Amino acid sequence: MLVHYYASHPMSKADAARSAVAIGLTWVWSVRLTHNYFRRERWQWGEKEDWRFNEMRREYGKPWWWMSFFAVYLSQQVFLIGLCLPMYAIHSSDKPWNIWDSIATGACLTGIVIAYFADTQLYEFVSRNENLSKVGKPIVPNLEEGLWQYSRHPNYFGEQLWWWSLFLFAWNVGQGWMFVGPLGNTLCLAYVTVLVERRMLKKDHRAEAFREYQRTTSVWIPWFKRTIREKAKSS
C-alpha cells in the first residue's frame, strides 16, 4: 500500500525503471511472506496466536492488555514507516538508473530467495517431525540441513538482506540517513532471535542438541560450521 501511495502521489518524481523495479520487488516480497504465513498456519486465518505474544503476556501479566498497544501494535506501525522510507526516497528523486540500482535489485532478490528456501526447509522439517510424532517415532531435535546447516536463522538473514538492500536504493539517491529504518528492524529481530533461542533451550528433548548447534553454527549470516579444532582453541 505504501509503495503504491508514494508512486501515485501527485508530487512524486522518480526514474521510471527504478520505480517499476521497486514496486515489482515489493510485490514479490509480499507474496512470499503471505504465502509462508498461510502455509505455516495450514491455510487457516487467525487460527493460532503467535507464541511470542503469549510469552510477553505471561511475562508482563495483567498490564499486558494496554502495554501490548504500545509494545506490539503501535511499535509495528513505527517500524513499518521506517522500513518503507526507501520507497519514499525512490519516488522523490528522478536520478537516472545506475549500477547501484542493479546491485540493490540483485541483493533484494537474493534476500527473497534465501528467505523462501529457508522457510520452506523449516516447514518441511516441522511437517516431518509432526508425522514422526503421530506414529510414535522419535523426532529430530534440530534442523541442520540445507541453509540451516550454515545459519541458525537463515530466514531472518534473508529478510534482513531484503530490507538493507531496499535501503541501498535510498542511499543511491542521496538519502543515506534512511538507514535508521532497517537498523531498527535489525535490532528488533535480534531481540526476537534471543526469544526464539531461549524457547528452544527450554525444550528438554532438544536443549543439548541446540546448545551444540549454537556452538558450531553462525547466528544469521550463513557460514561454514566451526570445526572441533576451533572449538578446542576457544575453550
Contact 33, 116 (CB under 8 A): no
Whole-angstrom distance, CA of residue 121 vs CA of residue 124? 5
Write the pLDDT tens digit of every residue in 166-222.
Answer: 999 999 999 999 999 999 999 989 999 998 999 899 988 889 999 999 999 999 999
Place of cell 523449516: 122
Sign of the dihedral through C-alpha 115, 152, 206, 121 = positive
What is residue 87's predicted lDDT score, i.e. its pLDDT? 97
> How many C-beta atoms lie closer than 10 Å to residue 220's C-beta?
20
- For 126, half-sphere exposure in the C-beta direction (CA atoms, 13 angstrom radius) is 10
What is residue 233's predicted lDDT score, i.e. its pLDDT? 53
Mean pLDDT of 30-40: 94
Sign of the dihedral through C-alpha 184, 190, 194, 199 = positive
Sign of the dihedral through C-alpha 81, 86, 91, 93 = positive
Mean pLDDT of 115-127: 96
> Which one, of 116, 96, 69, lies nearest residue 13 by Cα?
96
pLDDT over 70 at 131, yes or no:
yes
Mean pLDDT of 142-164: 96
What is residue 214's predicted lDDT score, i.e. its pLDDT? 94
Higher pLDDT, 14 or 226: 14
Contact 223, 150 (CB under 8 A): yes
For residue 193, give the C-alpha cell.
532471535
pLDDT over 80 at 227, yes or no:
no
> Which one, of 19, 68, 8, lies nearest residue 173 by Cα?
19
Q: Please tell me whether the overall predicted TM-score, pTM, comes out greater than 0.85 for this model.
A: yes
What is residue 165's predicted lDDT score, i.e. its pLDDT? 98
Place of cell 540493490: 104
What is residue 228's predicted lDDT score, i.e. its pLDDT? 52
Mean pLDDT of 146-172: 97
pLDDT over 60 at 234, yes or no:
no
Q: b or e along 225-235 (b: 16 or more beta carbons within 10 Å of the residue's beta carbon)?
A: eeeeeeeeeee
